[in-house]
Amino acid sequence: MKVLIEKRLRALELRKKAMSYSQIKSMLGVSKSTLSLWLRDFPLSHERIQELRGSNEGRIEKFRDTMRQKKEKRLDEVLKRELKDLSPLTERELYVAGLFLYWGEGGKTNPFELSLGNTNPKIAKFFLHWAMHCLGLPKSKIKARLQLYVDMDIPKEMEYWIKTLDLPIENFHKPYIKATTLRGLTFKGYGHGTCDLRISHRDSSEKVLMAIKALSEKYSESLSWEA
């Protein structure tokens, strides 16, 4: 496993030096299908593809670039349609969306507290907005604690989350620093560690947990969601 992690990190380093799949494969002995998975978010620049033009690997990289652009265009069109269809959410839809998020990601063992931890800043921001807008909780009650890695720039990551969540620094507890390194992970999430949001409020916790229970019981009774 360690060897595989080291090869993946080395592959990323070589790709950032504008090396083709064929070049990286010959150096690391890793299949192109594996490299395609590891490096799918690191396409070569148009200029580099032009440099490789005429060679077989140049044609392959150009084909990959063309397919990537087609995919990006297709997904962009889907995104625009979905934004149009979904916007704006009603207050009830927003509340239900937050319940399902909490059902899947939130803490459910403490009846006096709402909590949610995630590496995705957008999920953390949504939860924060939902708690304030749908549950009527003041920002002052929302506390945050970061889980970071020993090789990260701790002050920089603190600043990132303070700015992203628009929470004052006094709402943040001292971060928990893991002894492991971010560099050694095969899945780095969004690269800013994990943000745990916690809200001590019994009434809101009971409301959310009972709403989730109501949803689960209603769903288990019938798929038709009859009134």
pLDDT per residue as tens digits for the range 154-167:
999 999 999 999 99
> What are 31-70's pLDDT values in tens digits?
888 888 877 777 877 777 776 666 666 676 777 778 888 8
Closest CA to 119 of 166, 197, 189, 184: 189
> What are 5-24's pLDDT values in tens digits?
788 888 888 888 888 788 88
Element counts in the chain: helices (H) and strands (E)? 9, 4
Q: What percent of the chain has pLDDT over 70?
A: 89
Q: Are residues 52 and 112 in the same domain?
A: no
Q: Are residues 145 and 178 in the same domain?
A: yes
Q: Helices 56-86 & 21-28, crossing angle to 10 degrees?
A: 110
Q: Which residues of 33-43 are buried (b: 16+ CB within 10 A; e: fewer)?
A: ebbeebbeeee
Closest CA to 148 of 114, 131, 170, 173: 173
Q: Are residues 37 and 114 in the same domain?
A: no
pLDDT score for 139: 94
In terms of pLDDT, which residue wins out, 196 or 63? 196
Mean pLDDT of the chain: 87
Q: Are residues 103 and 182 in the same domain?
A: yes
Number of structural domains found in the chain: 2
Sheet of strand 194-200: strand arrangement: 113-118, 194-200, 142-149, 176-178
199 lies in a domain?
Answer: yes
197 lies in a domain?
Answer: yes
Q: Which of 84, 99, 129 is the last residue of a domain?
A: 84
pLDDT score for 211: 96
Q: Are residues 77 and 112 in the same domain?
A: no
Q: What is the pTM of this model?
A: 0.71
Please, are residues 144 and 172 in contact by the beta-carbon 8 Å criterion? yes
Range of the domain at 171: 91-221
3-class DSSP state of 193? coil
Q: Are residues 118 and 184 in the same domain?
A: yes
> What are 94-124's pLDDT values in tens digits?
999 999 999 999 999 998 999 999 999 999 9
